[in-house]
Structure 1
Amino acid sequence: MEMKEKIIDYIRKNRVSTTEVADCLGKSGVLEGVLPLNPHHFVVGEIQYLYAIEDSNWTVHEELDQNPISDKIIMIDDIDVHGRAIIGDIVSKYILLYLGNCGIITTGKMRDAHILMKENYPIWCAGVSPVGCFNRKVNKENFIDEISRKRDYYQGAIAVCDDSGVVIIPRKCITEEFYRKLIAIEEQEDIWYDCIDRRKWSTYKTICLKEYMNDKNDVISSN
């Protein structure tokens, strides 16, 4: 199993939250302003990067047609659409149901919110709007550098999505060291809850002073 698959599998099976993943990234990695459209979804997977420019979603349709990928999290980057909703129900249905991807992230807005909520699709976005993008060809020349830079960062990275939002694990962090951090933070959470729930310690003694370190063997053996 490759390291990327190993990390995704561990996060999925243990439902490692975005909070815990962000802690493993040094309290970073959040995709600012992007929140769940529908609650209670938990999705983790490799990112397939798409983008929208010039108030148009032409590039989204085009790239999905040229590369109809499945089993990924489709990320659609709002580069130049000025507050318009990038996609709505039809494209979401195509991405999730017909192509078989596990979630949608967009740094822009979505439309057809009433249908997306009714269908309870796993979508994370920057809000909703009834005003959508135009469906027209675009000139990519003025955006080549930005598209290349963002694709280099997001494509192939791991996204973890839950009720708190979205955290990105960059490709450079997909390592054995990071995998061990995930395991360690899960163990730490177990110890903290044991100290507070069973031992009735204060959060100050547990989280700040870490007094369990003086009696770690007993704490671990009691779990």
Structure 2
Amino acid sequence: MSASHYPGSEAFKGIPTACISDALDTFGINGGLEGLKALGPGMALAGPAYTLQYEPVPEGETAQAGEFIDEVPEGHVVVIANGGRQYCTVWGDLLTHAAKIRGLRGTVIDGCCRDATAILQTGYPLFSLGSYMKSGKNRVRLAARQVPVTISSTVVCPGDIVAADDSGVIVIPKDVAEQAYRRVKEIEAMEERILLDLQNGMPMKEARIKHRYNQYALRVNV
């Protein structure tokens, strides 16, 4: 099969995260951000990561809300590493409106958002561990931006491609994005051939063998 042209992060828009995961498995790359879910059904995003690292505020100190939104380039996905904290939030409705105005593609939070109803009304794609009403002011603070961050054992670097849908959130390392995209196209074509054979009455086991379905699986050392 000839190699597909890779047009950049936009190429992953609309591709199911399950297919991307299968492609990354063939390179031995995890990429999944466990536990993060869409704030509402049907949300999806794909774009380069703009990373933010948060940390707790020491007892007795104060800290204002993180100021970063004005610096995020258009077309990027905000990735906030808040250490899985769910006792306070780092995103709300005002940031959502600012992000939409700036043309951002969505936000991914290892933690919680608030103003869930207002965010849902905007249709802005947001993925997090959940929602909670407590502000992050004086509880957590922005420690660094555009640095590698770790979310559920997966390292996310600035510029890595983030994709998300109802099945979850996955990160494609930028240095393998082109190869991953080509593998995704191979997998999509393979699954289309299997579906066609199923519709023509072929048993699943036979169709999978015929089209080498298990070739596209996690690479393991044996």
Task: Give the structure-2-normalised TM-score.
Answer: 0.77
Q: In the alignment, which residue of structure 1 is the partner of 2:129? A: 126
Q: In the alignment, which residue of structure 1 is the partner of 2:95? A: 91
Structure with more relative contact order (C-alpha pairs < 8 Å, separation 6 or more): 2
Q: Whole-Å Cα distance in 1 between the matches of residues 83 and 16 of structure 2?
A: 28
- From the superposition, tell whether residues 5 and 115 of structure 1 become closer, same or farther in structure 2 (CA, over 3 Å): farther
Q: Whole-Å Cα distance in 1 between the matches of residues 39 and 113 of structure 2?
A: 9
**Match among 175, 182, 185 for residue 183 of structure 1:** 185
Q: Whole-Å Cα distance in 1 between the matches of residues 120 and 44 of structure 2?
A: 16
Q: In the alignment, which residue of structure 2 is the partner of 1:204? A: 205
Q: Which runs of 5 or more structure 1 residues have no equivalent in the other structure?
A: 214-223
RMSD, matched Cα: 2.9
Task: Check if 1:19 corresponds to 2:23.
Answer: no
Q: In the alignment, which residue of structure 1 is the partner of 2:69? A: 64
Contact 2:148/2:158 (<8 A) preserved: no
Q: In the alignment, which residue of structure 1 is the partner of 2:103? A: 100
Q: In the alignment, which residue of structure 2 is the partner of 1:216? A: none
Contact 1:60/1:76 (<8 A) preserved: no
Q: Percent identity?
A: 20
Deviations 1:142-178 (A, max 9, x none): xx7xx95428732110011111111100123223x32
Deviations 1:92-139 (A, max 9, x none): 2112x2221011111110111121122222111110111121158959
Q: In the alignment, which residue of structure 2 is the partner of 1:77? A: 81
**1:41 Cα deviation (Å)?**
2.3
Q: Give the letter for the 1:37 counterpart.
A: L
Bigger helix share: 1
**1:34 Cα deviation (Å)?**
0.5
Contact 1:57/1:87 (<8 A) preserved: no
Q: In the alignment, which residue of structure 1 is the partner of 2:55? A: 53
Q: In terms of Rg, which structure is larger?
A: 1
Contact 2:54/2:140 (<8 A) preserved: no
Bigger strand share: 2
Q: Whole-Å Cα distance in 2 between the matches of residues 139 and 50 of structure 1?
A: 7
**1:4 Cα deviation (Å)?**
11
Q: In the alignment, which residue of structure 2 is the partner of 1:220? A: none
Q: Whole-Å Cα distance in 2 between the matches of residues 139 and 86 of structure 1?
A: 9
Task: Give the structure-1-normalised TM-score.
Answer: 0.76
Q: Which runs of 5 or more structure 2 residues have no equivalent in the other structure?
A: 213-222
Q: Whole-Å Cα distance in 2 between the matches of residues 109 and 23 of structure 1?
A: 28
